[in-house]
Amino acid sequence: KNQVEQSPQSLIILEGKNCTLQCNYTVSPFSNLRWYKQDTGRGPVSLTIMTFSENTKSNGRYTATLDADTKQSSLHITASQLSDSASYICVVSAGNNDMRFGAGTRLTVKP
Amino acid sequence: DAGVIQSPRHEVTEMGQEVTLRCKPISGHNSLFWYRQTMMRGLELLIYFNNNVPIDDSGMPEDRFSAKMPNASFSTLKIQPSEPRDSAVYFCASAMGWELFFGEGSRLTVL
C-alpha cells in the first residue's frame, strides 16, 4: 500500500471555480510535505513545502493545509484558470532524503 | 541559473541497445536524484547521490541500470541492455536542503 494516497485521481472543473485536492499519508516519522505541479511533458515544480508546525501556507491562488495529527493535507485552488490544468503531486518526506510520492491528481480546467 | 539540465529530451532506441541519460544539476546543490515516471507507477526514485556519493540505489530495478556522478556538475544514468519495459520519462532532480528542483525529463522509448 502506498504511504501517500491522493484523491481524487482526476478532476474536471470549469474555469473560475474552486477545487480542493486531498493527500493522506502514513509516512513516519514526518519531516515535511510538499505539493508539486506537473504540466504535461514537463518536470514537477514545487508549489509549497510545509513542516510539522505549519497548518496553512499560500502561494498565490494555491493554499495548502496540513493536519499532522490526522496525517492529512489539502491543496485548495481558488478561481481556477486554464493554466491550472496539470497533475498535482503530494510528496511526504521522512527526512534524510527519504521521500514518498503520491500518484497525483490530474486536474483539467475547462473554459 | 538555467535549472537542472537533462539530455537527451527524447530517445527512441531498439531493444538491446545501450542508453545513456545525462544530467547537469543546479550549481551548488549537493544532492542529485534520478526518478522514473510511468502512467502505471507514477514517480519512482531510482537512486540518489549526496556530495557525489551514491546513498540509496535500492530503487534501481536491476543490474541493467547503473548511475554515476563523477563530479558535482554531472551525472549519468545508463541502461544496458535496454528493454521495452524501460520505456518511461526519466527525471533528474537536484536539491540543497529540502527543496527539489526537477529537470524537464528524458522521454525514453524502447522498441
Average pLDDT over chain B, rounded to an integer: 93
Helix, strand, or coil (residue B81): coil
pLDDT in tens, A68-107: 999 999 999 999 999 999 999 999 988 766 788 899 999 9
pLDDT exceeds cutoff 90 at A14? yes
pLDDT exceeds cutoff 70 at A1? no
Are B48 and A97 in contact (CB < 8 Å)? Answer: yes
Helix, strand, or coil (residue A82): helix
For range A15-42, the mean pLDDT = 93
* Beta-sheet pairing, B74-79 with B88-96: unpaired
User: Number of CB pairs < 8 Å for A and B?
Assistant: 45
What is the reported pLDDT for A90?
95
pLDDT exceeds cutoff 90 at A7? yes
Longest Cα pair distance anywhere in chain A, in angstroms?
43
Number of C-beta neighbours around residue A13 at 10 A: 16
Between CA B80 and CA B60 the distance in angstroms is 13
Residues of chain A with Cβ-Cβ distance to B31 below 8 Å are 97
pLDDT in tens, A46-74: 999 999 889 999 999 999 999 999 999 99
B106's grid cell: 528524458
A109's grid cell: 480546467
pLDDT exceeds cutoff 90 at B98? no
For chain A, the C-alpha Rg in angstroms (whole number) is 13
pLDDT exceeds cutoff 80 at B63? yes
A24's grid cell: 493522506
> Is the CB of A42 inside 8 Å of chain B's CB atoms?
yes
Residues contacting A20, CB < 8 A, separation 6+: A74, A75, A76, A77
What is the reported pLDDT for A17?
97
pLDDT exceeds cutoff 70 at B111? yes
Residues of chain B with Cβ-Cβ distance to A32 below 8 Å are 98
Are A44 and B99 in contact (CB < 8 Å)? Answer: no
Q: Which residue of A has its CA nearest to B4?
A: A43
Backbone angles phi, psi at B12, to 5 degrees: -120, 125
Residues contacting A3, CB < 8 A, separation 6+: A25, A26, A27, A92, A100
